[in-house]
Chain A
């Protein structure tokens, strides 16, 4: 499992709708802000890159010291972003694909408003389990 990993989902209107620290490293006070900052900075790169390819998985789009940002863009332009320090591309790809499936299930829930925060605890548990499995 990766030492540091921060996973967020950004809705199409650039609002983060889900966040999770899924790394195994001990939590540092300022780490969460730093991770958010790096991911936020990577959004611009994603915007440019998303239209240059038909693939959903954009691989690593940005880096900061030893941290890498990998991104997966869904058809509805929701971005699944992962900040990590591991080099396991296949695992990350599978992780994104499975989270995408989970996200679709959330989206199909008639009581969920697209673009609003994902509060489902079931989703949270599943994402963390996937992170343990693949990252």
Chain B
């Protein structure tokens, strides 16, 4: 059965509230800057950004499902498409593409050509190990966990490190069956 729901996030994007791009970029930059000052270790900053993204993701998924009107995705392939085409468009205003599927359809790459988070940014020598946009991987991980998919999200390409695009590798670890925390007869 073909799922009902939008194939692209354009319509939703135009109808939801938006914020000035520079304000958004600089606010995110200020957060990263502050984390670097507070935590000192680049590794710790990566971890913290991921955790912050996770916390955003587990809330954002509700907003996404409520506003986008998509229905249940039949498989992981469709889920990835939905994130790239609708999710990214809705919340970041850019469209990503999905590629590099492995044989059993559990691992793919989401490629971003354009990333509003990194306008103006250039990595200085002191933070070479930093995944500046690590918050995004956390968001995807958190959001998918809320719809019972355990995933692992890692950056494989990053323009700030000299690559030609942003590439997130999303790997489905396992699909957690929905279970109820209570028994029927209690």
Contacts and interface: CB of A to CB of B under 8 A. Distances in A.
Interface of A: 105-106, 108-112, 119-120, 122
A111 B26 contact: no
A111 B132 CA distance: 10
Q: Which 5 A-B pairs have the closest CB atoms?
A: A110-B29, A108-B120, A110-B33, A109-B120, A109-B122
Nearest to B33: A110
A108 B122 CA distance: 10
Contacts of A122: 122
Contacts of A120: 122, 124
A119 B125 contact: yes
Contact of B32 (A105, A106, A111): A111
Contacts of A112: 122, 124
A102 B29 CA distance: 18
B36 interface: yes
A84 B26 CA distance: 37
Contacts of A108: 26, 119-120
Nearest to A122: B122
Interface string B90-129: 0000000000000000000000000000011111110100
Interface string B14-37: 000000000000101110110010
B32 A110 contact: yes
A110 B30 contact: yes
Interface of A, secondary structure class, is: loop
A111 B28 CA distance: 11
Contacts, number: 33
A111 B121 contact: yes
B121 A110 contact: yes
A26 B125 CA distance: 31
A111 B30 contact: no
Contacts of A109: 29, 120-122
Given A108-B120, A109-B120, A111-B127, 9 more contacts: A109-B122, A110-B30, A110-B32, A110-B33, A110-B120, A111-B36, A111-B122, A112-B122, A120-B124
Contacts of B121: 109-111
A8 B54 CA distance: 45
A131 B30 CA distance: 33
Interface string B118-155: 01111111010000000000000000000000000000
A14 B125 CA distance: 24
A111 B29 CA distance: 7
Nearest to A104: B120
22 contacts: A106-B122, A108-B119, A108-B120, A109-B29, A109-B121, A110-B26, A110-B28, A110-B29, A110-B30, A110-B32, A110-B33, A110-B120, A110-B121, A111-B29, A111-B33, A111-B122, A111-B123, A111-B124, A112-B122, A112-B124, A119-B125, A120-B122
Contacts of B124: 111-112, 119-120
A119 B119 CA distance: 18
Nearest to A106: B122
